[in-house]
A and B are shown apart, each in its own frame.
Chain A
Amino acid sequence: MSELMPLQDAILARDPGVIIVRARSGDRDAGIRAALNGAACHRTAPGEWIVICDPAETAATLAAIRAACGDGAVLAIDISHGVTALELVGARGAERLAAYCDLDPGSERLAKEGAVRTRFGEIGVVIARIDDRPAYLLIADQSYAEYLALLMRHGVAG
């Protein structure tokens, strides 16, 4: 049975740079995307963007976003310290995702935006699609890291 296979290659700890941008009004989308330097930018809610970047580029990316957004009702915050990230790879990774998340991996929204806010177990998370392997990046508040590890272990033999 698939549940008996090991998970080491399916669940990988990651340490991305993560920036959250909240803006109240105005069309900020173009400006934010233009300020990025190869970082992945996902619109996860009206007025909210999650930017995932190389950790070494986080400071520069944050500065660029802040410069692009200017003053006003805008917050761009480096939340890298505040998150834990897991990469779920392949069929086994997709199975772990399906075990705790009702997200439709084939959803239009995920395809269009590349990331969505959803629930994983009992917590809110951001799921970002990495590529078509399939592979997903699960981003959660880092204080839940142990809880996530418990979920990943649950229901798997060995």
Chain B
Amino acid sequence: MSGARCDGGHAIDRSRPVNFRWAGRDYAGFAGDTLASALLANGVRLFGRSFKYHRPRGVIAAGLDEPNAIVQLETGANTIPNLKAPYVELYEGLNAAPVNAWPSLEFDLMAVNGLFKRFIPAAFYYKTFMWPNWLLFEPAIRKAAGLGRAPEQADPDSYAQASARCDVLVVGGGLAGLAAALEHGRAGRSVLIVTGGAHWGGRLAGGADVIEGANADAWIARALAELAALPNVTLRNRTLATGSYDHGLVSLCERLTDHLPLAARRGPRQKLWRVRAGRIILATGAFERPLVFSNNDVPGVMLAGAALAYRRRHGVLAARNPVIATNNDSAWAAAFELADAGATIAAIADARPAPPEHLVAEAKRRGIAVFTGSAPEKAFGGKGVHAVAIAALDGAGRLTGAAQRIACDGVLMSGGWSPAVHLHSQSGGKLALDPALQSFVPQSLSGAPSLGAAAGDFSIANTLATARGAGAKIANDPVRPLWSISRGDDPHADAWVDLQNDVTAGDVALAARENFRSVEHLKRYTTLGMASDQGKTSNVNGIGILSDLLGRPIPEIGTTRFRPPYDPVTLGVFAGHRIGDGLHARRRLALAAAHEAAGAKMEEYGGWMRPVAYPRAGESEDEAIAREVLAVRNAVGLFEASPLGKIEVKGPDAARLLDRIYVNTVSTLKPGRCRYGLMLDENGTIFDDGIVTRLAEDHFLVGTTSGHAVTVAERLEEWLQCEWIDLEVVTQDVTGCWAVLNIAGPLARTVLEGIESDIDFGREAFPHMTHREGRLAGLEARIARVSFSGELSYEIAVPWRDAARLWDALLQAGAPHGLSLFGIEALMTLRIEKGFLHVGSETDGATQPQDVGFAGALAAKKSDHVGRRSTSRPDSVRDGRRQLVGIAMADGRPVEPGAHIVRPGAEGEIGSDGWITSAAWSPTLSAPVALAMIDGGFARLGEDVRVWNLGQWREARVVEPCRYDPQGARLNV
């Protein structure tokens, strides 16, 4: 074969040469070429090696239905595996390489696999390599699988997303799509028309067809000009519709910079569009089917329509001396047009005994040999076809009689056309077999009609009429179904059906023999249709072969389910902004800048970036934590507690609501008082805890754990809106409105009394678990005297934007008293020393109040509350439930959360009695402290146990959770 440029090529610009590199060699093409067209123009016919057998393969298609020419684009961080060469737009400096070939495409060592082909057919891995152990072979088999190489560096590109709405979304930029867009655009509707390729006009562009009296290119140009001038119409090329979802939602992937040289790329590489359309028009075209015969995978055997596309779009003759093999009219037109461009057609073999007379006559006029009622039997060649054997077909479609061998440099085949029904099916549309086309066509789907070839309509006139609302159902000329060409009934083991996954007609027969007779089982057993081309050129052939083998009509076989995406989509475009810092919506503290300026190490806790600790110069993190703990225990510390949830609850029934929500009774709380409360879910499981404060008779402030405010607020609203609709109460999450600073330590009061305020901080005036409102440092403030550290402690809430002023005032007042900043880890250490519960650490999806020492509160509450009934189920009251205890390590070394508690003396396989839920090194006690949930924990105080963690055994004792100031004397000062 000597592929070469010819006339034509509406997509290329011959005045702009483009240099590129393929398989280590330099080549030249033109702007507008694809990688495949440029390589064909340079005479390249070997594009890759097949997946399993490493057979030499050439390009067969001209678009994203290509199964063979799979390439690795670029290197390093920019490398992209498994792109289809006909779908890669050529750009200056492009560097591409074949996949699955070593050391080279020409000489691939793994081609030795082909010698063992009969031992490794489809699904061999279910039946072989089992002795002595499959696991011995699996790694090697997996390593041999796959095509390209995944990138090993981070993706340097960014990706965008956007939503859009329109009255009409037209998918497809060929005749049908352009006509539909014109019709709706002229009617004043908002129209978005998209095409996956760079150019408009579809299969007709660059050809000699006449549309409404004009040459095809002229008609297309006029249509595009009119559409571009309409303000209500948007055209997007390089925009592929990848999926159709419920309620008129269609996803589009727009390629913004893939066609540009690397150095010229700016901004996001691709964009994911989420389009909601009032109406979707599917003008998605059709895919040509290969013919399935022996050695139909030799390079140079390709689709006739693809060869025509290369000529029309890129001015490339894929073969100079081809044989045409077909069962329908389209390949004849391709033959004549290629002949006009300079090709010498060696012969046309049509499976139909009587193709249209005018076609036969034209061929004869051109001196082209014609074989009717005939089909190719075998292609000859290794790395390029050089001959094909043609034989007659009998009435049953089997080859018969002597075959004639015809020299050629290409076999251009057409087994018919299958409408691209993917988006139609994803939209919920049904399919029916068109007996003339022998392919599935869409049945009507309101809101998403199919047009043109996508509907099985290949008539220009009828397509235009249908786009304008006046078309009729077209009757296509029948093709002769020819699913698998052979002499006998058994399909050949070297007749390829799915070229990308190396599935042969023999493999389909194997699946049928082994009783995998459903089309879904055929797919999974053989992997037919599971490669990156998703069976666009193989599915219908495979279904047809199975139909013949089983003697069941094709509609009974059906199709596999169509799922998005229509073509592989890069993961980056699905991620969009959700990478790096954008992966989660993180919240920043009111004093984030101040913490960072103070040297805080920041980490994410519950969606908030918070200080872990404030290591000083020369200090490790652990040393900083220990220092901060001791500062709070012995002097005074300052901590930002702004993420603590704050929900206002107001109304005449506010107390009733909260009595139903909390385990504890809230209605008895007096204004100005605080109470610790537990919230349960309906299963009786602890859902949240916090301080509830009564601000006034009908006004409460519900405190939640940090990061849980939104969930608790939603839960309150759900109850109010769905169940307790008679309660007169409203709620509002005000977490982000109030910044909270916690000052804790024996000198906390002294510091506060050094700041201008109208609040009396005296012990009697402001006792533990009370709340005051007033002014502090000239700022409106809500102050609760509550403690999570076990020391004298105040949580001071000011309007968020006043946080810095409060911070400065506290630092200034605290400086003479050695005020120290402390972070989350110090706070956790303090609360573990006190044995205080932390929801999410000590609790899990089964923990109920009685498990963590709140049985008394449960029993004392007389009125109903959420989860109450569930806490009295047999499992909730049985002995041996996991209960909260402390653990003291005998060796005095720290222990890890998650370490398992086991009874001493147990041997062999033993169960865990529970695990460490929280642990820290206590600088206060100079010992490790830990909390745990263990079976029947309350009754096991004083018991010696063993602790297992990551293969290590240690001794420990079960103790009370509170290891410091159990009487609470330091709180009531």
Residues of A that sit less than 8 Å from B by CB? 1, 3-4, 20, 22-25, 47, 71-75, 77, 79, 81-83, 95, 98-104, 106, 121-123, 141-147, 150-151, 154-158
Contact = CB atoms under 8 A, between A and B. Distances in A.
Interface string B729-757: 11110111110000000000000000000
B577 A142 contact: no
Interface centre among A1, A24, A98, by most chain B C-beta atoms within 10 angstroms, is A24
Interface centre among A23, A103, A121, by most chain B C-beta atoms within 10 angstroms, is A121
Given A74-B650, A104-B276, A154-B160, 18 more contacts: A1-B266, A1-B267, A24-B651, A47-B730, A73-B651, A73-B729, A73-B730, A77-B648, A77-B737, A82-B734, A82-B736, A98-B163, A103-B163, A121-B577, A144-B587, A151-B582, A155-B577, A157-B266
Sorting the interface of chain B by its residue count into under 10, 10 to 19, 20 to 34 or 35 or more gives: 35 or more
Contacts of B266: 1, 3-4, 157-158
B736 A141 contact: yes
B159 interface: yes
Contact of B256 (A1, A72, A146): A1
Interface centre among B165, B648, B653, B737, by most chain A C-beta atoms within 10 angstroms, is B737
B646 to A, nearest CB: 10
A4 B268 CA distance: 10
B910 to A, nearest CB: 44
28 contacts: A3-B160, A4-B266, A24-B727, A73-B650, A73-B651, A74-B650, A75-B650, A75-B732, A77-B732, A77-B734, A79-B734, A81-B799, A81-B800, A82-B737, A98-B164, A99-B577, A101-B163, A104-B276, A121-B582, A142-B800, A143-B588, A143-B589, A143-B590, A146-B586, A146-B588, A154-B582, A155-B576, A156-B267
A21 B162 CA distance: 32
Nearest to B159: A155
B158 interface: yes
Interface centre among B158, B160, B585, B735, by most chain A C-beta atoms within 10 angstroms, is B585
Interface centre among A47, A123, A143, by most chain B C-beta atoms within 10 angstroms, is A143
Interface centre among A25, A82, A123, A156, by most chain B C-beta atoms within 10 angstroms, is A82
Contact of A122 (B584, B732, B735, B736): B584
Interface string B799-827: 11110000000000000000000000000
B209 interface: no
Nearest to A157: B267
A141 B732 CA distance: 13
Main secondary structure of the interface of A (DSSP, over half): mixed
A22 B589 CA distance: 26
Main secondary structure of the interface of B (DSSP, over half): mixed
Interface string B257-294: 00000000011100100101000000000000000000
Nearest to B273: A98
A29 B135 CA distance: 71
Interface of B: 158-165, 256, 266-268, 271, 274, 276, 576-578, 581-582, 584-590, 608, 642, 648, 650-653, 698, 727-732, 734-738, 799-802
B585 A147 contact: yes
B270 to A, nearest CB: 10
A102 B587 CA distance: 22
A103 B274 CA distance: 11
A149 B577 CA distance: 12
B238 to A, nearest CB: 12
Contacts of B586: 146-147
Given A23-B730, A72-B652, A81 B577 contact: no
A145 B590 CA distance: 11
A147 B583 CA distance: 10
B267 A3 contact: yes
Given A72-B728, A155-B160, A104 B800 contact: no
A82 B732 CA distance: 12
A100 B577 CA distance: 9
A79 B737 CA distance: 6
B734 A73 contact: no
Nearest to B256: A1
Nearest to A143: B587
Contact of A102 (B268, B274, B577): B274
B162 A74 contact: no
The 4 closest A-B pairs by CB, nearest first: A73-B651, A82-B737, A155-B160, A157-B267
Contacts of A155: 158-161, 267-268, 271, 576-577
